[in-house]
Each structure stands twice: as C-alpha cells, then as structure tokens.
Amino acid sequence: MNGIHLQEYAAQQGITDIEIEAGDVRVIVEAKRGWTLPTIDQLRQYAARKPRLIVVLSECSENFASPRLAQQIGGVAVIHRSWRDVAKLTRAARGRCDRAEGRVLDEFLTYLETAMPVQDQESNLVYVVSLSLDTPKGWGISSIDIVEKLGRYFHPVGDRWPKEPPNYLGFRYHGKLQSIRHVDGYEIGTNPHKFFKEIPSGDWDPHFFYTLGPPITPPHDVRTGNIFRNHRVRAALDLLLTCKSVAKARDETDKRRERWAR
C-alpha cells in the first residue's frame, strides 16, 4: 500500500521508524537522535523486510558515519543523511511549493529543529562537572588549565552526558565550586587535536567542544557537599551562588522543579 507508515512492527524484524512505499519502491528510514547510529543487528532486521533502500538519519557528519555504517546489509543498500542535510533540502523545496505545501514543510522544519542539538539560551540551569587534578598521560595540558587558561571544555555527546549543549557549565575541584561559565559557542568533533594542540590526535566518539565565557565566581565558598567525586549534577544558577554547597543547590533545584510540575 502506497504511503508513509510510522512505527511499523513485524515479528523478528523489529519496529521501523518510517516506511515509505510508492509503487514497487519501499524505503525504510531509521531516525536517531544525536550522534548515534543503528547497530548491524538492527539493520539486518530491517533488511529482512526486503526494502529497496535503508536510510539512516542522525546528527552525525558524513565523515563520521560513513566508515561506521555498512554500504549494504543483506543485499539492501544503506545510506546516511544528517538531520541538517534534510533540513537544507526541505528549505530548498520550501521555495518551490504552494502555500498549503509550504505549511506542511514549515511544520516539518519545526520538527527537525527538535532533532538537532540546540543550546537552550533561556535556561538558568548549570551543568556542574568535576575537573581532575591530574594531567592524562600523553597530554601537555590538564583539564583545569583547559578551562582556566584557555576558556574551553569538552565532553562526550550522550552516553550519560548531555545530548544537547547546556547554557552554563560549573567547574568544581579542590572540594568546592570554582566558577560558573556561560557556553558562548560549541562544535562537535571527534579529533581533540583539532581543538587543542596539547592533546594527541585520536579518533574519539563525538564530543562537544565548548568556548566559554568569563568566569562567574561565587561570593562565598560553595563546598561540594554530599556528591561522589566524579558525579555530575544540574543546579539553578542563583542557587549555586547562594547555597553553601553544590549538593544543597542541586536538592533545592529539584524541589523547585517539582513545585513547577504540579
């Protein structure tokens, strides 16, 4: 049956995100949030449905995705496109359609914006991280100096780290919060040497590489409190500057968000 089908289930063949059928052409689209890609097993299940093509959509760049995806699975061609590629094509099509079609494309562009990592400029939540006092083997710079001297920071995309860049980052070491910095800009990359000559070249998983604003220093000591050494928390900016510990600011932030949710 011709059309676009969502969340189609088949026994032993998984649940597809999108299936497009037109005549004898059938395309399966696997859509991923962030810099993640489907597993080989997942693609094998989709290939068992005998589509003409499997399209993988993700935030990944083509340079990152291509060597990590097979060109075909079970005789079915596999291609990758980024969400930004699709947004670019949609904007190009937007100028060549009538008003009704344009409204549909506008709605689709709005959806695409939710799939791409976007910094929430209005959030006053601070993502507080712990900086190591040690310099990793082979590095010519410590994580503390990356923040304090270069005004930069980086962390993995997802996998227990944020999938979208935070608006503020807080840095703690020596048992207390040292500073809070606004995230003025960011890039996504996989080779740290591109950003820091002091770090050897490597093929990392995707990381956010941040450019930070000037430090906001608490007016009094804000101790770490009851938080594991490397644990990361979110807390409101105003509470971090007024509470006596990061743990207290975290707890008060959670209570505030619970009140708003009622």
What dotted CATH number matches 3-115?
Answer: 3.40.1350
Q: What is the pLDDT of residues 167-207, one digit of tens each?
A: 999 999 999 999 999 999 998 889 999 999 999 999 998 89
pLDDT at 82: 85
Mean pLDDT for the stretch of residues 226-243: 92
Task: Specify the higher pLDDT residue, 1 or 25.
Answer: 25
Q: Indicate the pTM of the whole model.
A: 0.66
pLDDT at 209: 96
What dotted CATH number matches 125-261?
Answer: 2.30.130
Name the β-bridge partners of 170: 128, 180
Q: Is the pLDDT of residue 154 over 90?
A: yes
Domain-wise residue ranges, the chain: 3-115, 125-261
Identify residue 116 by its one-letter amino acid code: M
Do 3-115 and 125-261 share a fold? Answer: no
User: b or e along 34-63 (b: 16 or more beta carbons within 10 Å of the residue's beta carbon)?
Assistant: bbbbbeeebbbbbbebebeebbbbbbbbee
